[in-house]
Structure 1
């Protein structure tokens, strides 16, 4: 266990030090600031939006974008740099390496998103009440874990397909809407509402909103967040195994 943790933290540190992307500036700073400014202006003309719900929603929208374009492309970047095949060919704990890189990428994205949202709300002089800080921290940690696991899933998928960038472009906004990150799922057509149940960030939003308001979360929120995250993990493990097989058995990873 000590060796696995050492590999995990070493991979996370390397990822933190080496990941450089202008996309993160757009997703982590420009996008949340613009989204907040537009929504706050609309609110002042008559639309009533709760500041806490607005800030949490923008954070989750930006986190999903970062999951797609940062965590999801961790392995793709390794392949472009020519380091993926050597890493996967070594007998080290490959899961610890991958999880460490994905976790570092998710956390690094949050270090951009959360301060941007907080500063923008302060500049707008909008209060950000957190009635249950303990519940908020627990929910935030669960959301980070879920986003990291989902990043592992899309990261392995992107390596296995030539259409990674097209999939990333197509996946962003449907999840914003169908996952209830932009508007409440109740406003969707009835036959589309169950789609939100399979998006873990939807349940994370439920937990964060309840913690901000100081009310009990829906009874299904924690089980569904755990269940969807576990499902993502199982799919990610299967995709990761296929990827490793291409290196160690088929030798076709670089053909995709």
Structure 2
């Protein structure tokens, strides 16, 4: 089609592909044991441990809750969104994902969004139930800014998951790398353990993680009031993840095509 409606048709086709990929991945997430552990059980366990030895104030309770949720989201991202392409290759469907009419990047980000939304929903449900059971005095001073932060969380986790998925596609030891990346970020990500508690020579690590900046924004938005800097930094890092994921995906697919290994697990 070469008429004036061609850009509109392409946009509608890309949107349909994106939404279909997201819905397909959400259906595939149902009953996933890794999602149940990292998004369902992990926030409950971390919250219980974090408040067992203290009765935090509303501001401190909010910081604990946001830190726990984002830590659980990292675990969910590593094992679910990060494994999107690895699962496609294992099931022998990777070639169909990258050789369709629409851009394979649209499919990748759609699938990553589907996995992220399922993970975020599970984490929110588990956290709310745990907060009510523990009767934590959580502050919600600026709910509209909290909603903005939640949107940024979803977008950032989706993009980060797409990047991890591309990186895991480059190696046949994706499960090993998943485990290797998960726990160091728990310790060095500036979420559960404040950045000031880290050795001076490691304090640069949390600066590279968008979830750390989102945590700072959400904690402030729930209490004294949000500041723009953490949100802007998180958005910039998310954009950087997206650009890197796009280039890495194209490069890895080109390499797989050259080797003829798109369908090889």
Partner residue of 1:220?
Answer: 229
Partner residue of 1:135?
Answer: 145
Partner residue of 1:37?
Answer: 48
Partner residue of 1:175?
Answer: 185
Q: 2:117 pairs with 96, 104, 107, which one?
A: 107
Q: State the TM-score, normalizing by the size of structure 2.
A: 0.90
Kept in 1, the 8 Å contact 2:220–2:226? The answer is yes
Alignment of 1:36-55 (within 5 A): 36-44=47-55, 50-55=60-65
Partner residue of 1:24?
Answer: 35
* C-alpha RMSD over aligned residues: 1.9
Aligned to 1:252, what secondary structure does the other structure show? coil
Alignment of 1:157-172 (within 5 A): 157-172=167-182
Kept in 2, the 8 Å contact 1:153–1:233? The answer is yes
Change (3 A) 1:216 1:49: closer
Aligned to 1:131, what secondary structure does the other structure show? coil
Task: Note the alpha carbon deviations across 1:110-169, whole angstroms, 9 max, x for none.
Answer: 111111111101011112221001111111111111111010011011111012111111
Partner residue of 1:191?
Answer: 201
- The 1-side partners of 2:262 and 2:249 are apart by 12
Comparing 61-70 and 234-243, the one that deviates more: 234-243
Change (3 A) 1:79 1:182: same
- How many Å apart are 1:49 and its aligned residue? 8.1
- The 2-side partners of 1:77 and 1:244 are apart by 15
- How many Å apart are 1:216 and its aligned residue? 3.2
Change (3 A) 1:49 1:132: closer
- How many Å apart are 1:16 and its aligned residue? 1.2
- How many Å apart are 1:48 and its aligned residue? 10
- How many Å apart are 1:196 and its aligned residue? 1.2
Q: 1:238 pairs with 237, 247, 262, which one?
A: 247
Kept in 2, the 8 Å contact 1:85–1:247? The answer is no
Asked if residue 207 in structure 1 is aligned to residue 217 in structure 2, the reply is yes
- How many Å apart are 1:50 and its aligned residue? 1.6
